[in-house]
Homo-oligomer: A and B are copies of this chain.
Amino acid sequence: MTSHAVLRITCPDRKGLVAATASFLARHNLNIIDAQQHTDVDERTFFHRIKIDLEHLSMTRSDLEESLAKECDAHSMIWSISYSDVKQQVAIFVSKYEHCLADLLLRYRLGELDCEVPLVISNHEKLRPSVEMFDIPFHVLKITPENKIEQEKTALKLMDRANVSLIVMARYMQILSPIMLEKYESRIINIHHSTLPAFLGARPYHQAHNRGVKLAGATAHYATLDLDEGPIISQGVTACTHTDTVADLIRKGRDIERTTLANAVRAHLEGRIFVHGRKTIVF
């Protein structure tokens, strides 16, 4: 299989955008494998994701990018390109719950997630064996109110060194500081164990049990300063009944959490997500 690229474009909507992009690619002998577009009619914004076959690319990638920059500038397009043979580096943050972590690492080993995982960061020792059995470095950065900023700086350094471009909070039980959130804006995926905006905050399964709901679920979203208010990427639910104790909800919820989180991570890695205000477009 030859390598391909994903080109992502956002710009104010107007006529001729698809024609301009498609003509550019045709002129450069690049075949479109797959493409999705969306126009936010209210805000007149255009979103475009194009998967390109690089087989017949007859220039260097940097020449292509220079050419792209010129073309896109002419149309006020914000653009980015990624290549299938350049793996993204993903850092997983975890505390004591194993299910999301184990699920991601299994998918990673099965080849479902097109990335590399150069490190896992935790505020607890507990899950070291679950990580090291996959030969992935496990870093414990214990958090106290006093050392929080410092520990995050250490984390940032570790991630810089590993060239991390995506953070996955796999039930990481700490609130990230603005420094981290800003540096990795729209690149930190968190899993919340309720179908937001239901049951914001702490202990959502307990809240759900108290309210007597008949559906329990989970939400993967980008982390933002407003806790549990970030752009939603994916959601899942499972039926529940009066027989379900809080422990049952937690158990059932684990299945939803891990699937929902994995779907979000895969979509991000495939360049399918555009953040648009407090919402997402997921192609």
- Residues of A participating in the B interface, judged by any CB pair closer than 8 Å: 14-16, 18-19, 22-23, 25-26, 29-39, 98-99, 102-103, 106, 109-110, 112, 133, 195-199, 211-215, 217, 231-237, 241-243, 251, 254-255, 259, 276, 278-282
Contact = CB atoms under 8 A, between A and B. Distances in A.
Which of A31, A234, A281 has its CB near the most chain B CB atoms (within 10 A)?
A: A31
Contacts of A36: 36
Nearest to A32: B18
B22 A279 contact: no
26 contacts: A15-B29, A15-B30, A16-B22, A18-B18, A18-B22, A19-B23, A19-B26, A22-B22, A23-B23, A34-B37, A34-B243, A35-B35, A99-B106, A133-B133, A195-B195, A196-B198, A196-B211, A197-B211, A214-B282, A215-B236, A215-B237, A242-B276, A242-B279, A242-B281, A242-B282, A255-B259
Contacts of A106: 98-99, 102-103, 106
A214 B197 contact: no
Nearest to A234: B214
Nearest to A31: B15
Interface SS, A side: mixed
A19 B20 CA distance: 8
Given A232-B214, A282-B242, A26 B35 contact: no
B213 A232 contact: yes
A34 B48 CA distance: 11
Contacts of A197: 198-199, 211, 213
Enumerate the 7 nearest inter-chain pairs by beta-carbon distance, A residue then B residue, closest first: A212-B279, A19-B22, A198-B198, A16-B26, A18-B22, A19-B26, A242-B281
Which of A19, A233, A254 has its CB near the most chain B CB atoms (within 10 A)?
A: A19
A13 to B, nearest CB: 8
A213 B234 CA distance: 8
B37 A35 contact: yes
B26 A243 contact: no
Which of A30, A237, A276 has its CB near the most chain B CB atoms (within 10 A)?
A: A237
A79 to B, nearest CB: 17
Contacts of A276: 242
Contacts of A30: 15
Contacts of A232: 211-214
A133 to B, nearest CB: 5
